[in-house]
Each structure stands twice: as C-alpha cells, then as structure tokens.
Amino acid sequence: MAVPALSEKQQSAAAGLFGLPVIVAALGYFVDIYDLLLFGIVRVPSLTDLGLTPEQISTVGASIINWQMGGLLLGGILWGIIGDKQGRLSVLFGSIITYSIANIACGFIKHVTFMDPVTYYALMRFVAGIGLAGELGAGITLVSEILPKEKRAIGTSLVAGIGLSGAVVAYFTVKYFDWQTAFLVGGGLGIGLLLLRVGVVESGMFKNVTEQENVKRGDFLSFFTNADRLSRYLKCIGIGLPTWFVIGILATFSNEFGKALGIAEEIQPGLSIMWCYVGLAVGDLVSGFISQSMASRKKAVSLLMGIALIFGLVYLYFGIKSATVLYGLCLAMGFGIGYWAMFVTIGAEQFGTNLRATAATTIPNMVRGLVIPMTLTYQALKPSLDIINAGAVVGLISFILGFYAILTIPETHGKDLNYLEE
C-alpha cells in the first residue's frame, strides 16, 4: 500500500522517544517475544500432554526449537529484503499476520487428526519462526531512522526493554491458564496490534531512497560481494552469539543442568527463561544509557558481555545446589546479555539505508538460526563430555567469537545514518 511521505510536523512528532513509532515498535516486540519464547516455556508441559516420554521431550523438543529457528533464519532473509524493497511498514504488517495465524494454529494441536500432531507442531513453529523474523529488525530500523542520532541508543533500548517483558507475560499466561490458551492469546495479541500499526508513518530516509531509481535496495547477496561489507556483517552476527547461548542452551535446558548439578528441586525451564528475560529487559533498558554515557557502543556491549561470561561460569562450575540460586543466575546472565537491542542497533548502523533493513533483520535471525548448530553440538557432546562440559564448550566458542567481533568492529556511536551502501 502507498505510504505518504513524512511532513516536517510529522517528523518532529516522530522524533520523540515516546512518539507513536517507538511505542508501536515496543508493543510489536512485546508480542514478538511473547510468541518467540512461548514454545520454550511450554515445551515440557505441551509435549508431555502429547504423550512423549522425558527422553523424547528432550530430543523432540530440541528438534522443534530447531524448526522454529530455521524459520527465523529463512524469514530474516525474506523480510529483510522486503523491508528494503517495499518499506519498513510492509514487514511490520506482513510478519505479524504470519506469526499470529501460526500461533493460533498451535492452540489446536491436540485436535489435529489429519497428520501426526508432533509433526504439525514442528511445522507450525517453522511458519511462526518465519513470521517472527521480521518484527525486531524492521522496528529497530524504523526507530533508528526516525529518531535523531542523539536519541537512537535510548530509543532502541526502550523498544527492547519494554518488548522483552513479553516473556514474563507469556510465562504467567501459561501458569494461570494452559499452554493451548497461551498460544491463542499470543495470536490474538498480534492481530490486535495490527490496529495500532495503521497510524505509523514510513521512514523518511527510506522514502528518499525510493525516489532514486539507480539505487539497488535489499540485495542480500551484496553482503558477500565486498570483503569489508562481509567482515562487518559477520562481526555483527558474532556479537549476538553469547545472547542465544545463554537463552537457547543454559536457560532452555536448565532442567538438564539442574540435574547435572545435583539440585534436588526440579528446575522449570519456563521459569528459567522468564527470569533470564527479566534480566535481559533490565539490561536492554540500561544499555542505551550506558552507551550514551560512554559515547561508545563497543564499550557498552563489551561490559555487558563480560558480565554474562562471569555469571555463566558461576552457573556451570561453582557447584550451585539451590533452584533459587539457579534462577537468580538466569536473571544475572539475562542482564549480561541485555545488549540485544544495542546489538541490533549496531547492525542497523553498520550499513547504508538501501541495505539497512536487510542487515538489521537478517543479523539477529542469523544468530537465532545458529541456535541449531549450538543445540546439535550440545546434544552430540553430552554423552562424551557430560552435560556441564558440553554446555561449556558451546559457550566458550560463542564468547570467543562474541568478544572478537565487538572488539574489532567499527564504532557507530553518533554515526549519521543518511547514506547509501555502494
């Protein structure tokens, strides 16, 4: 659909930290996180309800997570290209319709008779993953381009900090209702969010680029045709690896780590994920202010990544024996990986307007997609190294790559984003 260009008055209104674009992006990410993490929270109860054994819950659960992450990987490329070719708003509308329908479909898994319910479950999480891939990148790109450079870090932190609280709502929805209702609620929230999207205007930078017929937009392959561009792209992905190691391994499989550590109380992965995201939300809210005070994206991310590493080591090797302490460590590690919004913002700031949505959308979803080799490596190493050391090996690789990437990538604090990638 045609989107009117921003008037001077609209640009002034949009520039506020609490303007409609920021509010809608934050609420959109709230619903996105609710739906993205819902399977991790309902993995054990839903698969138990479908009649799987504890051993199957671990292997089949990991497989379904990988299907969802595969959808995110594919969707990231799809929505990123659309975002640079058709506009940031087209992604915000299209992605939310896709994942809302898929989540509603997940609410009826127990009534599926035309195919194996577990296969249906994996397929619907794959479709949901495709839809979920577009929300954050398009939202961060839109907010980054609308806000003045002095407010970018704080604005994107507000989007992520508010949005990440969706994990808490998802946990309590499952706790007080059931996993099927939780999927239906997620789908309903997404459809309701579409009504808010109607009043959001398109990025002025994108509108200006569309008027230049000779500019190539949304060319995903161009990340691989220039050495400097490829280096920046791969480093952006590397920065995000520790975040999903903490979420996808340490929190998601916390029940397995709890047993390996000899904790008597049964650990609930859903609760671990919730506490991790509480910490993540707080970290994301403060990361923008840390970056602003240090006048550096790199220093802020390095500081938080170091915090995540320290608490990850405590989680694995300090012999904790209490469920309360384990959940507390999930909270602390979550705070450490609370540079997620900063990481996506760095991805948006590294590239010109004609590739910005493609970068900001594909980069976080490449990281999410890399959860597949992370979980496969973790599962493969468990028999020979045991659960603790298997997790540690995956974490070691993730943090080495993460620190290398953030220490060597160009600084983007205060960078003017009104430029093109040639």
CATH number of the domain enclosing 220:
1.20.1250.20
Does 48 map to a domain? yes
Does 421 map to a domain? no
Range of the domain at 54: 14-408
pLDDT of residue 399: 97
Does 422 map to a domain? no
Does 89 map to a domain? yes
Does 418 map to a domain? no
Q: How far apart are the first and last CA of the chain?
A: 28
Q: How many domains does the chain have?
A: 1
Kindly provide the b/e burial profile for residues 97-113, where b requires at least 16 CB atoms within 10 angstroms of the residue's own CB: ebbbbbbbbbbebeebe
Does 86 map to a domain? yes
Does 95 map to a domain? yes
How far apart are alpha carbons 208 and 328 in whole angstroms?
48
Which span out of 9-23, 71-85, 312-326 was modeled with the highest average pLDDT? 312-326
pLDDT of residue 211: 54
pLDDT of residue 197: 62
For the chain, what percent of residues have pLDDT higher than 90? 27
Of 26-40, 190-204, 276-290, least confident by mean pLDDT is 190-204
pLDDT of residue 10: 43
Does 413 map to a domain? no
Q: Which residue has the higher pLDDT, 290 or 158?
A: 290
Spatial neighbors of 228 by CB under 8 A, at least 6 apart, are none
How far apart are alpha carbons 179 and 86 in whole angstroms?
36
Q: What integer is the mean pLDDT of 240-256?
A: 92
Global pTM? 0.78
Give me the chain's average pLDDT, please.
82
pLDDT of residue 216: 65
Band of residue 2 on the pLDDT scale cut at 50, 70, 90: very low
